[in-house]
């Protein structure tokens, strides 16, 4: 059976956009492997992202991020969800463009905040005013995420499955990503 993917689809975007959740479902729909960059970093370090930030600092984490990205992109085509900061590095963007295709999951600030506010797993948001921190990251990073060749808007009334389906349908409109015989059955959204 031919592989459903011709190249690795790399989900990028802000914390809370749904890269991990949507990537998981998208991979299942396509019958391909799913890998989460943060999970791979955690497995390799045998520590949580928060611990790595605390014990070794952000620069160390960013180095690991690039190394893991290189390794994952060298493997067979899959769905690869990045951590929110990975696309900020030009080197990482070049690696992704050379061996995969970046898809920006684009969400409004208030939706991101609703999703991340009660979770203590994101070290960058452990500040006195996490909403302001999220907002300044959102403002600074938007133009960089916009460099991704494919954008998919994330809506608050879409389920994870709806968003995965929207990504799948968008991928189908770009030649060279899905195998030519990939079935994209659209479904009604209410
Ligand atoms: N479309 C969606 N509808 C409802 N909840 C979602 C949706 N997408 C993501 N979530 C939830 O939002 C939170 C953040 O999603 P996650 O996939 O971890 O984002 P990211 O990896 O981009 O930081 C998780 O609790 C996830 O279950
Ligand atoms: O935006 C960022 O710089 C980060 C996002 C996180 O991943 P998610 O985007 O999956 O939450 C994780 O990599 C780390 O906390 C740093
Ligand atoms: Mg994630």
Ligand 1: residues with CB < 6 A are 15-22, 81, 84, 115, 158-160, 163
CATH number at residue 110: 3.40.50.300
Evaluate whether residue 129 is within a structural domain.
Answer: yes
Confidence grade of residue 158 (pLDDT, cut at 50, 70, 90): very high
Evaluate whether residue 178 is within a structural domain.
Answer: no
Domain total for the chain?
Answer: 1
Evaluate whether residue 184 is within a structural domain.
Answer: no
Evaluate whether residue 136 is within a structural domain.
Answer: yes
Nearest to 39 by CA among 19, 17, 25: 19
The pick from 115, 161, 163 for probing ligand 1's pocket by mutation, whose C-beta has the most ligand atoms within 8 angstroms, reads 115
| pLDDT over 50 at 176, yes or no | yes
Q: Are 116 and 16 in contact (CB under 8 A)?
A: yes
Q: What range does the domain containing 69 cover?
A: 8-172
Q: In this structure, which residue's CA is closest to atom 4 in ligand 2?
A: 84
**pLDDT tens-digit series, residues 130-155:** 999 999 999 999 999 999 999 999 99
Evaluate whether residue 185 is within a structural domain.
Answer: no
Span from the CA of 18 to the centroid of ligand 1 (angstroms): 4
d(C-alpha 57, C-alpha 176), whole Å = 38
Tell me which ligand sits closest to the C-alpha of residue 155: 1
pLDDT of residue 179: 87
**pLDDT tens-digit series, residues 21-39:** 999 999 999 999 999 999 9
């Amino acid at each position: 059976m031919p592989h459903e993917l011709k190249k690795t689809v790399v989900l990028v975007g802000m914390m809370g956009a749904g890269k991990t959740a949507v990537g998981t479902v998208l991979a299942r729909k396509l019958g391909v492997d799913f890998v989460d960059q943060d999970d791979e970093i955690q497995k390799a370090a045998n520590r949580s992202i928060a611990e790595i930030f605390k014990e070794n600092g952000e620069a160390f984490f960013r180095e690991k991020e690039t190394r893991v990205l290189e390794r994952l992109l060298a493997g067979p085509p899959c769905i690869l969800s990045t951590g929110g900061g990975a696309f900020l590095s030009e080197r990482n963007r070049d690696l992704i463009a050379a061996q995969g295709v970046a898809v920006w999951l684009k969400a409004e600030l208030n939706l991101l905040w609703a999703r991340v506010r009660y979770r203590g797993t994101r070290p960058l948001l452990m500040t006195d005013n996490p909403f302001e921190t999220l907002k300044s990251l959102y403002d600074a990073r938007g133009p960089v995420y916009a460099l991704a060749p494919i954008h998919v808007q994330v809506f608050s009334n879409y389920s994870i499955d709806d968003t995965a389906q929207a990504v799948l349908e968008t991928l189908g409109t770009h030649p060279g990503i899905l195998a030519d015989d990939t079935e994209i059955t659209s479904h009604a959204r209410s």
